[in-house]
Amino acid sequence: MSVHGSTQTPAAENDHRSAAAPARSTAKRVRPPAARLRPQAARAYEDELRGRLGLAPLGRDFLSRAQARTGWIITGVVALLAALIRFIRLGYPPRLIFDETYYVKGANSLLRLGYEADWEGGNENDPLFAAGDYSMQKTGGDYVVHPPLGKWIMASGQAIFGQQNGFGWRFATALIGAATVILLVRVALRLFNSPALAGFAGAAIALDGMGIVMSRTGLLDNILAFFILAGFWAILRDRDAARAKLAHRVATGQIRANATPADPWGPAVHTRPWILAAGVLLGMACGVKWSGFYPVAVFGVVVFIWGTLARRAVHTRLWFGAGIFREGLPAFLWLVPASLLTYLAAWIPWFANPNGFMRSWTPEQVAADMTNYSAPQFSFLPDAFNTWLAYHAKMMEFHTHLSSEHTYMSQPWEWLVQWRPVSFYWVGSDDEKMKEACGAGRECVEAITSVGNVAVWWPALLALGVVLFAAIVRRDWRAGAILAGYLATWAPWLLYSNRTIFQFYAVALLPFVCLALAFAAGYVTGSLGRPRARRLPLPVVVGSSLKIDDGVWQPVKRPESPVSGQDVMVMPVAYPYRARHHQAAGLVGEHAAGEHATGEHATGEVAVEQHPAGAHAIEQHPADQHLAGQDSINAMPWWHAELTSSGRTLLIGGSIVIAIFAAFWYPIWTGMTVPRWFWQAHMWLPSWI
């Protein structure tokens, strides 16, 4: 083989390679020097990091002013629609229906007595309660199996609008139902950056039967759904805030010649106020129902995954360890204690009132030297706290052993197709009131059933497949976030398939069903923007080659050819920027094929050259300079979501179909008097009766 006019035998060439191998191995272990970028270059690099982390550049928003204004208009219109549907005739029926006999009465006793009192006669005395006769109320505490926060919230409606009318009983749940619709639109705007898709998601939840029925009924599940969605919104806000801090601290910190942060774990993010807010909101969900603990766990894992992937995206060398110790552990310390303390705070009225259920249990058991439940194990704790733990053990026993048959019990996999809705209210044609309302010879009924809008739920089952594909195959973080909602609110119920559970528990899943429907509509029609920007090498971003000068990366010009005798080391940057990207940008030409093609020009990767004077340069070709920004003035930003004609057709057509189905079902979501044949026309499946 001839090199510069000399010849070598194969043996000599092998000896040369063997001698060079240790040197190359040693060179690989040499850590490149680190320095800071100049302020202007740091700003450009920060914008690039923000793009690859899924954030808009500094000083810009995902939505233009016109889009933001449209988003608020859509939010207001959908909120008005939701409020009208939920508040008109809210007081009807003027009696307790279904499990309101437990929760409305519990809220009433909290309001009047400060604790949940027991009631004689069960639901047989509901007419007396509706008339304001509380003589059947006992002085002892009632054994309730859900935390008190949801009932305190319901009590606020009775305090404002009275305790003897349906409007007061249900006002809080209706208000929270409308607030859930508003919040969902704002969440969808952040996920999709599209007012049209956000409006579609908002219309779907505003016009869904399960959401409407649960908003118009004094039960806990609608309140639970709101706090879970609010916690989800908070972790989305934390994702943006934490990644913005990470991008800024990486861009303004010490950077090595291979474009990695000098700290192998990357910079710390420190304060996480939105994670704290998520902890409080999810703790409030736990204070309504214990099923709120599942979102704490699932969303906590999601925050850890997002943080770890962010560390990887900015090329921290030990990104997984950084994900654990600088993302996961700090997030845990912000999220979990806040959730637990908020949950504990929900029980403060129980601690403060000596008449609550089991409130004096520990002193009584200690005095009698016997117990029906496990004795307190924490002698250093106050009696009240040990009693509280014993109460929780009793609640846990109830929840894990509830297996009595019920006409309307269902399995979680049936909820996705609305297989077995619950009849909340029924007045048959043999009732005297119905006979008077319909006249002789006609049969009328009044019914309230919790069946969801099938124009939402049935297409959403197909949409879930799109979400799974986008999350797993395409690694779209938006689809993954929606999938996390399913895992937090629906998947845990698969563990309790032997328990007595009901389909209306899926109202906590409903917001994520609507998000899945909107995501799929945008995804299949090409109406979604990209989840993140394409990655660009550092020298491409700053528009020049770089070398260290006085502890700062300074721009240098690439020499036309290597200097004779110069020690040149060519190594790829930490991530490849392959030739196909250059081809897409029109950058592969004569320079890429020229006689001096090395590094980037020969392989499509950015080269790092080490000069003899100790100046370490991150090189790029001058033709790359126009890529310093992710988008030019005239180009659309990477996140731009353009509603295609097929997307417009699908959203308009889908909204019309959802509205038609809602109008068709509204009478039996709200207990209107209808002919019996009209009610039968809605019983599409035998399991709906």
Angle between helix 510-524 and 221-252 (nearest 10):
50
CB contact set of 6 (below 8 Å; sequence gap of 6+): none
Question: How buried is residue 138: exposed, middle or buried, by Cβ count under 10 Å (0-12/13-18/19+)?
Answer: exposed
Tell me which amino acid residue 346 is: A
> Beta strand 552-556 with 545-549: parallel, antiparallel or unpaired?
antiparallel
Amino acid identity of residue 584, one-letter, is A
Compute the radius of gyration of the chain from its Cα atoms: 32
Rounded-to-integer distance, Cα 496 and Cα 30, Å: 56
- What per-residue confidence (pLDDT) applies to 557? 59
Q: In whole angstroms, give the CA distance from residue 275 to residue 330.
A: 10
- Residue type (1 letter), 9: T
261 SS3 class: strand
Contacts 24+ apart (CB under 8 A), 157-162: 158/107, 158/108, 158/111, 159/111
| Helix (H/G/I), strand (E/B), else coil: 552 | strand
**Residue 419 and residue 409 in contact, taking contact as beta carbons nearer than 8 Å:** no
Q: Please give the single-letter amino acid code of residue 359.
A: R
What is the C-alpha separation between 270 and 601, in angstroms, rounded? Answer: 41
* Residue 189 contacts residue 199 (beta carbons within 8 Å): no
Helices and strands, counts by H and E, the chain: 28, 13
Of 415, 150, 177, nearest to 292 by C-alpha is 150
Contacts of 598 (CB under 8 A, 6+ apart): 562, 570, 607
| pLDDT at site 15 | 52
At position 344, the amino acid (one-letter code) is: L
The pTM is what?
A: 0.85
- 387 burial level (CB within 10 Å; 0-12, 13-18, 19+): buried
**Who contacts 566 (Cβ-Cβ below 8 Å, separation ≥6)?**
611, 612
Q: What is the torsional sign of CA 379, 380, 381, 383?
A: positive
d(CA 337, CA 284): 13
- CA dist 267 and 639 (Å) reads 26
Contact present, 153 and 221 (Cβ < 8 Å): no
Secondary structure class of 265 (helix, strand, coil): coil
Backbone CA torsion sign across 641, 642, 646, 648: positive
The pLDDT value given to residue 637 = 84
pLDDT along the chain (689 residues), means of 10: 43 50 52 81 90 92 92 97 97 94 94 90 86 87 92 96 94 98 97 96 98 97 98 97 95 85 90 96 97 97 96 93 93 96 96 88 67 61 86 88 85 95 91 79 90 97 97 96 98 90 96 98 94 81 69 63 34 36 33 36 36 40 38 65 92 97 97 93 93
